[in-house]
Amino acid sequence: MPFTVVVSGAPELEQGDPELVALANGLAKARAVAVQEPSATVIGCDTVVALDGRLYGKPADESEARSTLSALSGRTHVVLSGLAVLSAGRELTALERTRVSFRELDGETIERFVAVGEWRERSGGYAIQGQSAALVKDVDGDIDNVVGLPLARLLELCPELAGGA
């Protein structure tokens, strides 16, 4: 299905209940774009990383990236994506959860991955589809969710997007 990526410019919540933050941000992004494109089907998605109820957003710098990776080391965190589909006057929302377990990371490993730079613009300071995959011990759930768009959940929410389904 052809699509166009539009950066919404919507302000994002960075604190609060992780599930509510992901849903609110996904909906805000979709609504901001729908105002510009009222006849389009608009999909908004926001993906956050949470550990023990704390949000780990996009690290601002290398120091914050080190701190985030250290916090995730040897632990299991949850990746939450809030989806919103706006079409023909209706708003549909869904939340996807994936549990990701990191290996124990020593200081040298953290430094190596910070130097690679995949932490930039990534919730939780890593990109599972890149070199950061080596940090991961186990994934319980949809890996597409961790990459940033849970396609299976999206198609459950809005089956007509499958084109012929």
Report the CATH number at residue 54: 3.90.950.10
6 in any annotated domain: no
9 in any annotated domain: no
Round to whole Å and give the CA distance between 35 and 42. Answer: 10
Q: What is the pLDDT of residues 96-145, one digit of tens each?
A: 999 999 999 999 999 999 999 999 999 999 999 999 999 999 999 999 99
Q: Is 140 a catalytic residue?
A: no
Query: What is the reported pTM?
Result: 0.92
Query: Which single residue is written with the structure tokens 């990236």?
Result: 65
Q: 46, 138, 140, 142: which is the annotated catalytic residue?
A: 46
Question: 29 with 8: CB under 8 angstroms?
Answer: yes
What does the pLDDT read at residue 164? 53
**Residue numbers of the domain that contains 42:** 18-162
7 in any annotated domain: no
